[in-house]
Amino acid sequence: MRTPKKLLAWTVGSAAVIGVVGILSARLSPAMAAGGARPLAGPFTIADAIFWGVAALTVGGAAAVALSRNIVYSALGLLAALLGVAGLYVFLSADFVAVAQVMIYIGGVLILVLFAIMLTNRIGEVNISNASMGWASGGLLSAVMLALVLVVAFEVPWNVRPSGGNPTTAPIGHALLQQWLLPFELASLILLCTLIGAIIIARKEIRAE
Amino acid sequence: MIPTLSHYLAVAAVLFTLGLFTVLTRRNAVAILMGVELMLNGANLNLVAFNKFVVGGLTGQTFALFVVVLAAAEAAVGLAIVLSIFHTFKTIDVRAADLMRE
Amino acid sequence: MIRPDNVLVWATFLPVIGAALILALMSVRHFLGLPKRFLDQSSRWITLVASFLMMVTSILAWAWFDPKAQGLLVQGKATGVQMVNRGIWIRPFNVEWFVGVDGLSISMVLLTGLISFVAAIASMPWWQGGEKAIHMAGMDEDDHGHGNDEHHPKHFSVRMVPGYMILLLLLMTGMMGTFVALDMFLFYVFWEVMLLPMYFLIGVWGGPRREYAAIKFFLYTLAGSVLMLLAIIAVYYRSLPAVLADGTLSAKHTFNLLELAAQGRAGQFATAVPIFGFAFTKIVFVAFFIGFAIKIPMFPFHTWLPDAHVEAPTPISVILAGILLKMGPYGILRFNYPLLPDATEWAANGIAVFGVINIIYAAYVALAQRDIKKLVAYSSVSHMGFTLLGMAAMTPMAMSGAVLNMFTHGIISPALFLLVGVIYDRAHHRDMERFGGLAKELPEYAGLTGLAFFASLGLPGLAGFVAEFMVLAGAFPVYLTFTVISATAVIITAAYYLWAMQRVFLGKLNQAYVGFPDVNWRERLTLYPLAAFMIFLGFYPQFILHAINPALQMLIQNLRPV
Amino acid sequence: MEHATQELGPLAVHTAGYLWLIPLFPVVGAVINSLFGIRIQRTLGKKWNHGIAVGMMTLSFLVALRALAEMISLPASERFLQNTLWNMATAGSMRFDLAFALDPLSMMMVLIITFIGTLIHVFSIGYMAEEPSYWRFFAYMNLFVFAMLLLVMGDNFAVMFFGWEGVGLASYLLISFWYTDIEKAKAGMKAFVVNRFGDFGFLIGLFLLFWSLGGVWQPRADARSVRYVPEIGYKSDSTALNPYESTGPRTVTIHGHAIPLGPTLNFRELRDQIVVEGTGVGEHLRHQKVWGVMLLTLVAMLMFVGAMGKSAQLPLYVWLPDAMAGPTPVSALIHAATMVTAGVYMVARLSYIYAMSPTAMGWVATVGVLTAFFAATIGFFQYDIKKVLAYSTVSQLGFMFIGVGVGAYWAGSYHLLTHAFFKATLFLGSGSVILGCHHEQDMRQMGGLKKHMPITAWTYLIATWAIAGFPWASGFYSKDEILWKAFTQRGMELFGTPAPWLGPAVFALGLVTATATSFYMFRSYYMTFTGKYRGGAGHAEEHDEDPHSAHAAPHHVTAGHPHDNKDPVVHGAHAVHGAHAAHTAHAAPAHAAPAHDDHGHHGGLPHESPRSITFVLVTLATGAVLVSLLGIPMLWSHHEPILEHWLAPALPAEVSFAHFSHATEWLFQGMGVAAATIGWFFAMKLFKDGKSSVPADLKARFFGVWTVVYNKYYVDEAYHAIVIRPALFLAAFLSWFDQHVIDWFVNFVGWVARLLAAVDDAFDKYVVDGAVNGVGGLTREGGRLLRRIETGRIQTYLYGAALGSLLVVLLNFLFR
């Protein structure tokens, strides 16, 4: 009974992907011209290979998160995606952000997620359900969204200007404590509140009383 | 071939879309939170990429940092809520948590 | 302290002073702990004194008035009007406090003074002649007597006395001011000041259907005054400026009636741009005329009169018939004729037609009445028709007759309403069919009523005749047929008055009315002066004519510049 | 008539400052008696009431004699006394004063009024002795005399009209004197209203004359606000005209006399400018026409309508018989001697106008003779003695109008004089009889009174001779003069067409009428005074077989119906307030038990009246004989009759009569005597001593005719159907119209206003307010709908967000 929906989703989704690929292939050279710092012609260096690998890791992890039936696998996929993103940060010469990504996400958020999974699913239960719903419509919408964003990404003539990759930790520290001082303090405040709130919400005795 | 801005944007787009897909399709609150994290990462990637290729300076990275911080906070609170939902409903299926509907 | 240059101000504002005194008493009443009885009596005395002084001042004005020295205004200075009192009121619009009298208004001033005092006396529950009469009239001061039951209602003169007196005094001021005002704006203000107390006096102290009558009266007259206001504004904006009392000149237009008269004679309004394609003067004339015709009242705007009269308490009927009705013709002679001479020529025939309708129609309607007060009311309508006819004819004789008719009717119809009030106070109904043979029980009352009736039906030797005669004789060459038709009214009038006489006074005495007290001193005080005036005017109408003739002569010369 | 042929000049005026006293005295008496009379009567007694009244009358009579003396001392052409008191009204071209004037004609009238009036006052003392409101009676009588004097002494139309209406008022008051009887009250009202009809015509004629003098004879726009410029044909000195003030009227100078021209109400100015040839006014008026009729004809006829009302001519005579409801002295003074002759006086006063219009003359004469004959026929069958006299009065007035109609103005006036005497005698005689017979007026209840009241009988007989027209009694001379002049008058016209036959025709009918007069007068005499007394109790059956009582006609004066006798209301009234009992008694004598107790029971024998009454009767009867001396015809004494000579200056009319030989004149006088004799003969045969049964047979034979005539040809009923009913209907209709149409319209307008207000209110409530509530409702409904969307699932919202963002982007693409 779901077949037509699935069929519809697959067709539209694949149509979107085909469209995107077509667009990419058709508009490759201008896209390169637009985005590339260097001309398209050039040796395929290792850095490029690493980039693609990281990108693939990221996308794959995300796909695992999105599609895996087992939530534990989803968490692992999330780990991969986060790592990939950190790698991309490095490629984008945002080293501090990359480090922060690794520390906060993988060191904090991911751990939290895993804890949550464990707490909310009985230990020892074999399959940890990660059932999905509205698969077709969700897929459809996501595909359209993806197509759109890809079109935007490749069609818009971004005025790119080269910028050297220099260490950013110290400048970020100055920026946070000078230019962005107030948001920084607010962020710390938010974290405090979050801490307290999370504790209050999570403790069941209090709510029990 | 040299990765350009568009490639980063493409990756970010895929991240975002998959996160969206996750949020849309999952019934598991934790999975939904993961989807949110994916979308946030997609956005962060955009920020940093634009920072590198277009804007320059540090603004993008700083924003990325703030987003990371907020994401962490969000994750903490969200998961706490998930826990409390679980305590309440003995499940984390979001369909169960619709008391406020009526 | 009363000098010719301020006598009119005194005459106008003495009643207001009285009203203020009563108000002061009311305000301090609770502090001093005055009893209600004291408040009532003192307010009555104040009213009596104030209206008496008003009458005295008006008689002074009459005495100081010099009929010879009447002329048109020369270079903006009014030489025709006398006893002028002038001051600037609203400078930006050239509105002035400007009072004065010419021959036309001085007669009305005298009439107002007399009738106001008479009405004041008639408003007192005094000199009733014994407890029995007081009880019969429902004038018991104590509230726990027979209350407001329909059979024996409480007399109006003992209900809410201070309020009544205050309103009565305000009414007097409004009337006097209307007659002496020579500034359009001032005229309109006094005109409206006069309306409101009338409304309350009818609506609060009136008879069973008082609310209906009061509302009817108010809406009718208000509609009229709205038209009048529009006309006043229209005339104002078409007028040329005139110097104010202090010789300055601040606005581009004027409200000064004498100036406007001069401008109207000079054709200032005849040449104004038309409104909706109609001639300006005609539009304005019609607006003014309807506004005043409602007051006359002129067919078909007359139906408020019977209701108002029937419901109003006696003194208010007296004032209504004696003075308010005169404001219609007065206004027409004060506004339409001098300001819009050409439109007057144009409208004369229409006025004559309406006059004839008034005369005949109302006379026949009166013939059919059973309520004696309605009969008298309709006879008023009929008699005012003579004034209309005379004004339309515009011959000197007819005009003098018309104004004289205003005065004589102002003397006669109050007497008639007082007489109706006399019998109503005793019998508490006015149905002529239910009376009969009263002449045996109330001979003096019968005699006075006979006198008033014969005066009203135009018996020579009494006031009514000369006016009617002059109107008919004057209108004859202009409107031959109309005059002949109108003259038949002498027959109908005689018929309905004598029939009323017969139904009320003659025949076998209706046993229900045995032991009715005859006219008491309060009624004598009001009736005998009027009766004496009727006879006096019957044999010496020149007493009034010598004052009004020159004024009317000017009016007619305005109509036909020579 | 030589005075008419000569060229007339303007009147010479002699001011007599005392004339105003003549009307003053009566009015003073009236005021005293009306204001304080009741107290006087209660405290001082009735003698003071009549003392005041009679005293005042005597005084004014004396002043009149003084005026007479002065007038006689003047040359004939200057006999005009004038006295102006004050200016009553001045407006435009009209100006009239309160002024009195006496010329020979009005002198005669004043003497009649004061002399006979005084006598009748004296008579009333005895007649009204038991009247409770004695004071009121004398007040009214004095008031009447005052008004009558104003009428005849007025220097202008205004004052004359004052009197004209004043006598109407007094007549009204006196006819309904006993007002508790509603029939009497109605009679008074009838008299006044009918007279008003006449006054209407009089006024219109007056206006027409007034303006015609100014040259205006039809409506003109420029009649407004300008004083009338006499038209071409006027020879006037001054042309200066002030549009308003009438001071300094235009004048024309004739023989050094300045004669004012233009509209005027003043008799003298009117006479001057019309009579004096030089002014050209008369000539001018002759040629003016209104509605195709000669102006003067119209004026004269309209004014004659007024005379019809006052002097009870066809068709306005109906009030006079009913006027007999008043006390008998009133009938004698007002409805026989003075007031009813006002019309004749007016025509004589304006003789010069009537003389200028043959049509008007013919009209007046015709109406007069028809009235005379008509009334005489009604007089045949009346049983009420006062009714007989009333109709005879109407008939005699007809004779007077014949006189003034055919142009014998002096003869008409002379008949007025003689009639005043003998008719007063007759009425007072009848009053004496009524008093003697205990307020019985039905002649069938009388008879044989001669031996009970001889003086009354003799005076009544003398007066009957006079009215019947036997020589040496005054009536003969006046009536024959009138008839002779009628016969010799050939110049009259009927509605513009010459009718030389009219004079002889009038004469013929007049002669027949004279016969009839003689007949019914002697009938009344015989029925009353000869035979045996038929009075006594129980005459109801005769009333029942009398068709008059079958008709409950509103003018039934002899209130002798038995059912009136036992009217509970009236007796209740007596019981309740005895003070008024006697009054009520007199109000309706036949059912006045207490009053009858005053003088014997109902069946008592008649008795001669007191001294005051008989004295008056004798005096008047003597006068009725003596006044004949004033009119000895030229045929007998070969010089102008005294009265004609006396009146000549006051009657400046040029009327030409055909000339016949003396033999013819003798013949006609013989015919007059013969007519009187024939009437007398038949009356004696039929009614003397009440023995003859012929009247009953005739009545039985011609009962239908008898009924019709007895009921006065049902004229009153006709009036009721033709005039009163429609008028009342019209009144009712207009009243209905006023209440249900006009007032309905007014209320309808008010209703429409209220309706609009209601609509506005509804709009406000359901549209404006509804919009506000609607928003709320819409929100609620929308919310109910959106709850479907509001799943509470994050996914749903995310769908919305995503789709929305897509939409935004797409739109952004599409509408770049």
Give the model confidence (pLDDT) of A3-26 as tens digits.
555 555 666 666 666 666 666 655
Look at A168 and B61 and tell me if their CB atoms are within 8 Å.
yes
Q: How many CB atoms lie within 10 A of CB C19?
A: 26
Q: Is pLDDT of C167 > 90?
A: yes
Greater confidence (D136 vs D6) lies with D136
pLDDT tops 90 at residue C58: yes
D139: CB partners within 8 A, 6+ apart: D29, D30, D33, D34, D37, D53
Cβ-defined contact of D799 to A137 (cutoff 8 Å): yes
HSE-CB at D713 with a 13 A cutoff on CA atoms is 13
Segment C488-501 shows an average pLDDT of 89
Q: What confidence tens digit (pLDDT) does each residue in D58-101 have?
A: 999 999 999 999 888 888 778 888 888 888 888 777 788 889 99
Q: Calculate mean pLDDT across residues A89-111.
A: 86
For chain C, the domains span 7-559
Per CB-CB distance under 8 Å, the chain B contacts of A183 are 66
Q: Do D806 and A145 touch (CB under 8 A)?
A: yes
Of C561, C558, C557, C549, which Cα lies nearest the Cα of C398? C549
Task: Determine which helix (DSSP H) or strand (DSSP E) holds D685, and give its type and residue range.
Answer: helix D662-687
Query: pLDDT tens digits, residue range C518-543?
Result: 888 888 889 999 999 999 999 899 89
Residue D601: pLDDT band (50, 70, 90) is very low
Residues of chain B with C-beta less than 8 angstroms from the C-beta of D805: none
Q: How far apart are CA C419 and CA C453, in angstroms?
A: 10
Check residue D536 and give its pLDDT: 61
User: In angstroms, rounded to a whole number, what is the distance separating the alpha carbons of residues C190 and C18?
Assistant: 18
Mean pLDDT over A131-153 rounds to: 79
Q: Examine the pLDDT at D229 and tell me if it is beyond 60.
A: no
> How near does any CA of chain B get to the CA of A1, in Å?
18
- D741 CB near a chain C CB, below 8 Å? no
C-alpha to C-alpha distance for D671 and C67, rounded to whole angstroms: 68
Residue C47 has pLDDT above 90, yes or no: yes
Do residues C65 and C113 touch, judged by C-beta distance below 8 A?
Answer: no
pLDDT, one tens digit per residue, over D536-563 is 644 433 443 334 433 433 444 444 444 4
pLDDT of C53 strictly over 80: yes
Q: List for chain A the helix, strand, coil content (%; round to 5).
A: 75, 0, 25
- Cα–Cα distance for residue pair D815/D813, rounded to 1 Å: 6
Rg (CA), chain C: 23
Q: What is the CATH number of the domain that holds A135?
A: 1.20.120
**Angle made by CA atoms D479, D679, D374, in degrees to the nearest 5:** 65
Highest mean pLDDT (candidates D221-225, D228-232, D567-571): D221-225
CB contact under 8 A, D793 and B23: no
Min distance B102 CA to chain D CA atoms (Å): 9
Paired residues of D103 in beta bridges: none
Determine how β-strand D14-15 pairs with β-strand D81-91: parallel
Query: Most A CBs within 10 Å: which of D805, D809, D811, as the mutation test of the A interface?
Result: D809
Interfacial D residues in 745-774 facing C (CB < 8 Å): 745-746, 750
Which one of D787, D791, D798 has the shortest CB-CB distance to B23? D798
Per-residue pLDDT of A150-198, as tens digits, reads 887 887 787 777 666 667 788 888 888 888 888 888 888 888 888 888 8
Residue C322 to residues A46, C303, C377, C413, D447, Cα–Cα distance (Å): 123, 18, 11, 6, 61
pLDDT digits (tens, 9 = 90+) for D406-433: 888 888 899 988 888 888 888 888 888 8
Q: Say if the Cβ atoms of D792 and B23 lie within 8 Å.
A: no
Residue C158 is classified by DSSP as G
Q: B5 to chain D, minimum CA–CA distance in Å?
A: 21
Q: Is the pLDDT at D569 greater than 80, yes or no?
A: no
pLDDT for the residue A95: 84
Q: Do D728 and C368 make contact, defined as CB atoms within 8 angstroms?
A: yes
User: How much is the average pLDDT of D121-131?
Assistant: 85
pLDDT at residue number A10: 62
* Interface B:C, ≥3 CB–CB pairs < 8 Å: no
pTM of the predicted model, to two decimals? 0.74
Sign of CA dihedral D339, D341, D345, D346: positive
Name chain C's partners: 3 or more CB pairs within 8 A: D
- pLDDT surpassing 50 at residue A135: yes
Distance from CA of B10 to the nearest CA of D (A): 17
Of all residues in chain C, what percent carry a pLDDT higher than 70?
A: 94
Count: domains in chain A: 1
Distance from CA of D495 to the nearest CA of C (A): 22
Average pLDDT over residues C11-18: 92
Q: Which of D795, D799, D809 sits opposite A148 (nearest CB)?
A: D809
Place of tokens 């019947």: D468
Provide, rounded to the nearest whole percent, the portion of chain D with pLDDT above 70. 84
Cα separation, D474 vs D420, in Å, equals 11
Closest alpha carbon to C324 in C42, C484, C51, C111: C111
- Cβ neighbours of residue C336 under 8 Å, at least 6 residues apart? C285, C288, C289, C292, C343, C344, C347
Mean model confidence pLDDT for chain D: 78
Long-range CB contacts (< 8 A, 24+ apart) of A96-104? A96/A168, A96/A169, A96/A172, A96/B61, A96/B65, A97/A168, A97/B44, A97/B48, A97/B61, A97/B64, A97/B65, A97/B68, A100/B65, A100/B68, A101/B44, A101/B68, A104/B68, A104/B69, A104/B71, A104/B72
pLDDT, residue C172, reads: 93
Cβ atoms of D143 and D321 closer than 8 Å: no
The contacts of residue D197 (CB under 8 Å, 6+ apart) are C491, D305, D309, D316
Residue type, D768: V
Q: Given this model, what pLDDT does residue A56 score?
A: 87
**Vertex C427 angle, CA C424 and C429, to 5°:** 65
CA angle A8/A11/A17 to nearest 5° reads: 135
Across the interface, whether the CB atoms of C508 and D573 are under 8 A apart is answered: yes
Which chain D residues are within 8 Å of A141, Cβ to Cβ? 799, 802-803
**Collapsed DSSP state (helix, strand, coil) of residue A191:** helix
Q: Which amino acid is at D86?
A: W
Whether this model's ipTM surpasses 0.90 comes out as: no
Given an 8 Å threshold on Cβ–Cβ distance, is A145 in contact with D803? no
Predicted pLDDT of residue D554 = 41
Residue B91 pLDDT exceeds 80 = no
Domain limits for position A10: 2-147
Asked if the Cβ–Cβ distance from B98 to D799 is below 8 Å, we say no
d(CA B62, CA D737): 98
**D34 in C contact zone (CB under 8 Å):** yes
Task: Kindly tell me if the per-residue pLDDT of A141 is higher than 90.
Answer: no
What does residue C371 show for φ and ψ, rounded to 5 degrees? -80, 120
Confidence (pLDDT) at C141: 63
**Residue D116: is its pLDDT beyond 50?**
yes
Average pLDDT over residues D29-36: 89
Q: Is the predicted pLDDT of residue A1 greater than 60, yes or no? A: no
Closest chain B residue to A78, measured at CA: B34
Q: Which of C219, C395, C539 sits opposite D92 (nearest CB)?
A: C395
Total count of residues recorded for chain B: 102
| Cross-strand pairs, D84 | D99
User: What integer pLDDT is reported at residue C419 of this predicted model?
Assistant: 92
Overall average pLDDT of the D117-135 stretch: 86
Give the C-alpha separation, D83 to D741, whole Å.
55
> What span, in angstroms and rounded, lies between the C-alpha atoms of C238 and C257?
13
Q: Is D253 helix (H, G, I), strand (E, B) or coil?
A: strand
Residue C149, pLDDT above cutoff 60: no
- A contact chains, 3+ CB pairs < 8 A: B, D
Q: Tell me how far apart the alpha carbons of residues C181 and C98 are, in angstroms, rounded to a whole number.
A: 6
Give me the mean pLDDT over the C155-182 stretch: 89
Per-residue pLDDT, C379: 92
Each residue's pLDDT tens digit, D710-726: 777 787 788 877 877 88
Q: Which uninterrupted H or E stretch holds D516?
A: helix D502-529
pLDDT band for position D245 (50/70/90)?
very low
Chain B residues within an 8 Å CB radius of A194 = 72-73, 76-77
Least confident stretch, A105-119, B16-30, B85-99, C354-368: B85-99
Distance from CA of B10 to the nearest CA of A (A): 6
**A18/A41 Cα distance (integer angstroms):** 26
How far CA C301 is from CA of A92, C321, C358, D37, in Å, comes to 99, 15, 10, 47
- Better-scored residue on pLDDT, A7 or D385: D385
DSSP character string of D211-236 = HHHTT--S--GGGTTS-----TT---
Beta-strand ranges (E) seen in C133-242 are none
pLDDT of residue A33: 46
Instruction: Please list the residues that pair with D263 across neighbouring strands.
Output: none
